[in-house]
Structure 1
């Protein structure tokens, strides 16, 4: 999907800004994965360097565009974290490059992906540039976690918020990529990114985790203490990384939302449409108060995990609260 279809409003905004020569020298693109942040940053670079701009749009085929798209343009620098943070070597390279003039033109574009992964020292290293930017040098940071960036960085950037794709549009994108409707219904709740959805489906953890979480949830709804065994024997071994642990709680919350929706007669957009019959049975056998208490307990569990309570303790505490 092109950036024009992902974020048409923002493309039109930057077409106008660039045409009026009012492009700011520092931007922060903030939003969920899959909303087109890197794509728009790349589009801006294409627009600035393209030798065949038509109606404010880069052609994408000229030599300048092709070099940018292949990562070989010396005046368009992309920095992507290696692992969990930007490495010292990457920051040194970036600082050196920020002091240089354009190699082929009088303008340069720097794109820093997942800027929230910068260390404090790395972020402070950017402040000098942001306070005294070089002429016609543009810095674009992208993030899915704006609150993890230093306020001093954010205050010196123009923040652009990226809206999530509407659910119908995302579902169409997922199914067009060959993902079956049942998987698409769930993945559209968990991520806004087609590449992420495809990667999860191809992984060795997503489907087992979905199955074992459903098993745990079934035991909870049946008031079966085997749910405790599920935590220790299945969920904890499968979810060793914090990102996967977060997805366990997201799955649980979506299951509860489906039960609650069916309880109130709203089953049009379930996350687990293939299990609707079983979900409906659970919805009939629970009171509104019980279901709302389950939701509150799960939301509290998400806060505990965010506060660095261990995953096993969080799940065992949640299990204890949910068993009647």
Structure 2
């Protein structure tokens, strides 16, 4: 599906309005710095802006998507649009020098030129200084678009020469919709939205066998806490801890446990539309019969306290053992 400004307005309303206004008034900046989390639409907006700049057939803000300029931008073959990505771990001086050389030539089809630098925070010091020199001598018809997840890692002198545009995290409904359009089921999209606000990370997790097993272990722990309390310490020692080896992994396990008990609370309050573990409705109803609303709310506090203890470097197995005892009380 061809991306249009209406799509970007839904995803990033404030940012899109700013850029659309610039196009409308023919006041496109010579340099932009798009900064925000991974998966928030920085590259999509950069490409849409480039298409709006180059498309000769557009009659509105939207590019036509059919002319040779639009088609070549989408296929990555436009002669006057240059994209730079890290070469290995960094963006090197030679890449910026090559860009400068390319820009000394007259545009092949017009005098307009656009370059997009992805992960701009990965420029080496030499590359940053070369880019700074380039930005200090802007051509009337050249537009630079720098993309970054960490604007503070970019030279302040570069930042001061760019129009800074902050991309906000996606709202949950928009994120769910984006994930479903990427092929995730409604239930999976909802769970991933509860775990992360990042489209790319959510898609990655949905395919991750480690994460799939983590979800299974959470459901198993819940059932054991209800039906086989005496075996919980053995389960924690032999199955839970070997899977959640790192503190960061254990935090993810606790996040899933937190979501489960929130769902139990939603069950009690009959807020079915808010339930995340929608695939386990029968198990959630059984859990809501086992844990009262008051106890489920207490469990949420116990889990939050366990997460804090992990951050304070308390021994992970002790944290889990104490937590399961609190939940059983």
Question: Is 1:286 matched up with 2:295?
Answer: yes
Distance 1:79 1:279, change over 3 A: farther
1:9-33 alpha-carbon deviations (Å, 9 max, x no partner): 3444323212323222222222333
**Which residue of the partner structure matches residue 57 of structure 1?**
62
How far off is 1:50 after superposition?
1.0
How far has the Cα of 1:108 moved from its partner?
Answer: 1.7
| Cα distance, 1:298–1:123 mapped onto 2, change above 3 Å | farther
Question: Match of 1:28, SS?
Answer: strand
TM-score in terms of structure 1 length = 0.76
Matched, 1:167 2:172: yes
CA separation of 1:300 and 1:126: change in aligned 2, threshold 3 A = farther
TM (norm. structure 2) is: 0.75
Displacement of 1:42: 0.5
SS in 1 for 2:244: helix
Of 212, 235, 257, the residue aligned with 1:207 is: 212
What is the CA deviation profile of residues 136-179 of structure 1, one whole-angstrom value per residue up to 9, with x for unaligned ones?
Answer: 32221223344544544434332222234432333344445543
Unaligned runs of 5+ in 2: none
**How many angstroms apart in 2 are the aligned matches of 1:201 and 1:51?**
40
- Between 1:165-174 and 1:72-81, the stretch displaced more is 165-174
Helix, strand or coil: the match of 2:275?
A: coil
- Do the aligned partners of 2:38 and 2:200 also contact (CA within 8 Å) in 1? no
Matching residue within 243, 248, 255 for 1:234: 243
Counterpart for residue 131 of structure 2: 126
In structure 2, how many angstroms separate the alpha carbons of the residues matched to 1:71 and 1:201? 28
Instruction: Give the structure 1 partner of residue 285 of structure 2.
Output: 277
For 2:95, the equivalent position in structure 1 comes to: 93
Distance 1:168 1:318, change over 3 A: same
Contact 1:29–1:161 under 8 Å retained in 2: yes
Moved more, 116-125 or 157-166: 116-125
CA gap of 1:114–1:283, structure 2 versus 1, over 3 A, is farther
In 2, distance between residues paired with 1:217 and 1:5? Answer: 44
1:172–1:60: structure 2 CA closer, same or farther, 3 Å change rule?
same
Q: 1:314 to 1:119 in 2, by over 3 A?
A: farther
| Per-residue Cα deviation, 1:50-99 (whole angstroms, up to 9, x for no partner) | 1112112211111111111111112211122356x3253xx412233135
Aligned residues: 306
Tell me what 1:297 maps to: 306
**Aligned partners of 2:306 and 2:320 also within 8 Å:** no
Give the Cα–Cα distance (whole angstroms) in 2 for the partners of residues 81 and 143 of structure 1: 12
Shift of 1:259: 1.2
Partners of 1:143 and 1:131 in 2: how far apart?
20
**Separation (CA, whole Å) in 2 of partners of 1:296 and 1:283:** 20
**Match in the other structure for 2:82:** 77
- Give the match for residue 242 of structure 1: none
Aligned equivalents of 1:196 and 1:203: distance in 2? 10
Contact 1:35 1:162 (8 Å CA) reproduced: yes
Gaps of 5+ in 1: 240-244
Deviations 1:263-304, CA, capped at 9 Å, x for gaps: 373554233223333653456573645532421432564x57
